[in-house]
C-alpha cells in the first residue's frame, strides 16, 4: 500500500493496537488489444491469451480501479471498470456483504460523488501523501 507499511498489520495479534487506514486503492490492468489472425471474429474484441482453437480470455473486464472504505460506520466498495460501458459498482458491505445489490443508482448521489473523487485522488497520489487524503463521508 502506497505510503504505509503493512508489516505491523500483518504481524499484529488481536491484543496489539495497530493504526490502519480507513480506505485503500485496489487496481488491476488487463490487456486491451490482441491480434489473433487465426480467429478473425475476435479481432479487436478485447480478448487476450487466445489459443489456436480460438478460446480466449476476456481482458477488457479485467481492468478496474476500486476504492475500499472500512471505518467507523463506513463499509463501502466503489469500483470503476474500464470496459466498453465504463461500468461502476458500489456496495454497502454492512448491508450487502456478498455484493448482490449494486447501489450506484439508488444510493445518495453525494456519497457516490465522494467515493468517485476519493478513488480518483488515491489513483493519482504517491507515497505518504496517500495516507493523508481525507474521505469526509
Q: For the chain, what is the mean pLDDT?
A: 75
Place of cell 490502519: 20
Answer yes or no: pTM beyond 0.85: no
Q: Measured over all CA atoms, what is the biggest interatomic distance in the chain, rounded to whole angstroms?
A: 59
Q: SS3 of 83, please?
A: coil
- Given pLDDT bands bounded at 50, 70 and 90, which one contains residue 25? confident
Q: How far apart are CA 41 and CA 113, in angstroms?
A: 39
Q: Could you tell me if 89 and 104 are in contact, meaning their C-beta atoms sit under 8 angstroms apart?
A: yes
> How does pLDDT run across 83-94, given as a tens digit for each residue?
777 889 999 999
- Given pLDDT bands bounded at 50, 70 and 90, which one contains residue 20? low
> How does 86-120 read in b/e, with b if 16+ C-beta sit within 10 Å?
eebebbbeeeeeeeeeebbeebeeebbebbbebbe
Strands 47-48 and 23-28: unpaired
> How does pLDDT run across 45-84, given as a tens digit for each residue?
555 555 555 555 555 557 889 999 988 888 999 999 877 7
Q: How far apart are CA 49 and CA 17, in angstroms?
A: 45
Amino acid at each position: 500500500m502506497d505510503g504505509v507499511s503493512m508489516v505491523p498489520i500483518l504481524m499484529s495479534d488481536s491484543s496489539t493496537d495497530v493504526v490502519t487506514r480507513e480506505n485503500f486503492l485496489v487496481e488491476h490492468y488487463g490487456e486491451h488489444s490482441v491480434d489473433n489472425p487465426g480467429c478473425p471474429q475476435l479481432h479487436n474484441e478485447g480478448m487476450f491469451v487466445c489459443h489456436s482453437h480460438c478460446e480466449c480470455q476476456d481482458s477488457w473486464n479485467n481492468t478496474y480501479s476500486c476504492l475500499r472504505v472500512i471505518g467507523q460506520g463506513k463499509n463501502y466498495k466503489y469500483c470503476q471498470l474500464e470496459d466498453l460501458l465504463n461500468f461502476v459498482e458500489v456496495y454497502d458491505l454492512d448491508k450487502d456483504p456478498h455484493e448482490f445489490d449494486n447501489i450506484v443508482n439508488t444510493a445518495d448521489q453525494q456519497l457516490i460523488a465522494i467515493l468517485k473523487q476519493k478513488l480518483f485522488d488515491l489513483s493519482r497520489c504517491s507515497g505518504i501523501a496517500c495516507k493523508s487524503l481525507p474521505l469526509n463521508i
